[in-house]
Amino acid sequence: MVNSMLNRISAFAFAALLMLGAGSATASWEEAGSVIETATKDILSLLENDELVKEEQEEKLIAEIDLLLSPVVDFPYIAKGVMGKYYRKASKDQREQFADVFKTTLLKTYAKALVGFKIENYEMIPPRKKSPDQKKQIVTVHVFSANGDKFSLVYYMKKNDQGWKLVNAILDGSVNIRLSFKNQFADMMQRNRKDVDKVIESWKEQVDPGKGSA
């Protein structure tokens, strides 16, 4: 189920928060990192508001995070990858609907992780070699929590007409965000007889219980 998947991949929430610092072997890598660094500073400032991080303020927090991450994360691109082969079969309206509900999925995951995860320190890992495509960059970060947990996070950045965008993330070398959700979507399509509308409504209901259509 989607909720189970959310628990497994909540580390995606660090997509903007953990890419701190600068310094790299290539200008393009620095550019990709600096985009996230700006968002990071804004998000850290946001979290200084004690009232905003209270549980009853979750919707407001999500709305504020949305304003900061939308320029950084290419939600439609990731949603397209999640739909996989079913993207071509879906109508424009269905694609837009799923992109919206998928964006909500990631934002809610992000908000919960931001509030619940206490960052002790982090380590930026410089790239070992230049990317063969300067419009695609990979940034690796090691993150340490206050209780000693360590996460290895790999962020995939792609440059388009709007600038650098986050298009995927991998946790500890095993949990691929886009692939994990893609498998989830494909499974739901099989269980719902390849009815895209039913899958979207089912996904929406699991992310926002009570808000899906009957």
Q: In what order do the strands lie in the sheet with 136-145?
A: 119-125, 136-145, 150-160, 163-171, 175-176
Q: How much is the pLDDT for 214?
A: 41
What percent of the chain clears pLDDT 70, i.e. is strictly above it?
A: 80
Q: How much is the pLDDT for 24?
A: 36
Per-residue pLDDT at 118 exceeds 70: no
Compute the average pLDDT of residues 23-28: 54
Instruction: Please tell me the distance from the alpha carbon of residue 47 to that of residue 114, in angstroms, as a whole number.
Output: 8
Per-residue pLDDT at 193 exceeds 60: yes
Instruction: Please tell me the distance from the alpha carbon of residue 36 to that of residue 9, in angstroms, as a whole number.
Output: 20
Per-residue pLDDT at 33 exceeds 80: no
Contact criterion met (CB below 8 Å) for 212 and 36: no
Compute the average pLDDT of residues 35-64: 82
Q: Higher confidence at residue 23 or residue 184?
A: 184
Domain range 2-205, CATH class: alpha beta
Q: How much is the pLDDT for 212?
A: 52
Instruction: Please tell me the distance from the alpha carbon of residue 75 to that of residue 73, in angstroms, as a whole number.
Output: 6
Report residue 89's pLDDT band, with 50, 70 and 90 as the boundaries: very high
